[in-house]
Amino acid sequence: MASIGTITISEWDREALTLRSRSHKLPRRDVLRAQIILLCASGKSYDEIQSALHISRPMINKWKGRYKKMGIAGLKDQPRSGKPAIFSEAAKARVIQLAYSPPGEGYTNWSQRRIASAVGMSQSKVHQILSSHDLKPHKVAYWCGKSTDPEFEEKMLNVIGLYLSKEEKAMVLSVDEKTKIQALDRSQPELPLKSGLPKRHTVTYKRNGTVSLMAALAVHEGEVTAQTIDKNNHVNFLKFLKKIYRKYPDKQLHIIVDNLNVHKHKKVKEWVNSKKRLTMHFTPTYSSWLNQIEIWFNILSKDVLKGAIWHSKQQLVDQLMEYVQTYNATRAKPFQWNYAPHSKLT
């Protein structure tokens, strides 16, 4: 066996190269180069490294030499020689034109790869041209469109006024439903988190039913009242209102809801009108974002729903209610709610 000579690496480099050599995400060439250096440092011979990695002796020498000269930075590909292709202004304008045009052929959005194919240049050049004009045809941003409600300003000011003013004997409650939460189970057990790897789930799953969550956020206190329901209808909504009414017996209640039909059902209106200390406030049409409970639902989605596995519908129900209790005990506080009308959309 031919000796490869000695190569010394620091503990920091050894740790970084070990993570790289075990990666399932990095390109194969980067993993291979890290493995070469680690085997060299362990005193393996040329024959042993060639046998283990199925590579040539010149390749071993190349990356060993690069590492000895530049460290881990030497394991990156060096810039290649050669004059870059020069494209006319007309060709660049064609890239911009395509980015602004509907893609057709069944596509909704352009990708940089397909633009490159259409104009006959590299994807990196297309990226460079689009970046110079701050164009991102592969992305879509969402914004709150103008409400068509003729009473928008009046309703909006009413809701915001409730947020800004806190009265001792009044309670402002932001109420809504998060519907059709799926109790999804996976066909195989979850693979746990590892260094360099996230938790992993199989793409195949089993549905164990759906649950809806009805919740009320006490705006000035931060406390959440919630219950799960199987069906989102006026009957369950009215039961929830009665539950809130009983929970705060000495308060004048102001309930903020959106314009869902169940919130305006005849029987709901009749009951609300019969209660002197309860008032319903509706957000303007297409403006449910004014309702602060939507902020809490977003927190719930990140904390509980994203990437979760439930073996039964009841397990989902139990976890939702446990989370509400934990939130109230450890995190409940008023939101610092604001809106910057001139902020840049991202």
Bridge partners for 104 per DSSP: 107
Question: Per-residue pLDDT for 62 more than 60?
Answer: yes
CA-based end-to-end distance of the chain: 60
Cα torsion through 186, 190, 193, 195, rounded to 10? -100
Can you give the pTM of this predicted structure?
Answer: 0.64
**Tell me: the pLDDT tens digits for 29-48?**
999 999 999 999 888 888 88
Q: What is the mean pLDDT of the chain?
A: 88
* CA separation for the pair 265, 269 (Å, rounded): 6
Average pLDDT rounded to a whole number, residues 118-146: 86
Question: Per-residue pLDDT for 4 more than 70?
Answer: no
31-36: list long-range contacts, CB under 8 Å, 24+ apart.
Answer: 33/63, 33/75, 34/75, 36/60, 36/63, 36/64
* CA separation for the pair 279, 271 (Å, rounded): 11
Radius of gyration of the chain (CA): 30
> What percent of the chain stands above pLDDT 70?
93
Neighbours of 30 (CB within 10 A): 16
Question: Per-residue pLDDT for 5 more than 90?
Answer: no
Tell me the Ramachandran region of residue 324: left when phi exceeds 0, alpha when psi lies from -120 to 50, beta otherwise: alpha
What's the Cα-to-Cα distance from 310 to each of 42, 274, 323, rounded to whole Å? Answer: 46, 42, 15
Per-residue confidence (pLDDT) for residue 36, from 0 to 100: 92
**Tell me: the pLDDT tens digits for 254-306?**
999 999 999 999 999 999 999 999 999 999 998 888 999 999 999 999 999 98
**Which residues contact residue 153 at a Cβ distance below 8 angstroms, ignoring those fewer than 6 apart?**
none
DSSP E strand stretches across the chain: 170-186, 205-218, 224-229, 252-257, 278-282
Per-residue confidence (pLDDT) for residue 81, from 0 to 100: 66
What's the Cα-to-Cα distance from 159 to each of 191, 200, 211, 245, 271, rounded to whole Å? Answer: 46, 43, 29, 20, 22
**Tell me: the pLDDT tens digits for 65-93?**
999 888 888 898 877 666 666 788 888 99
* CA separation for the pair 284, 288 (Å, rounded): 7
* CA separation for the pair 41, 215 (Å, rounded): 60
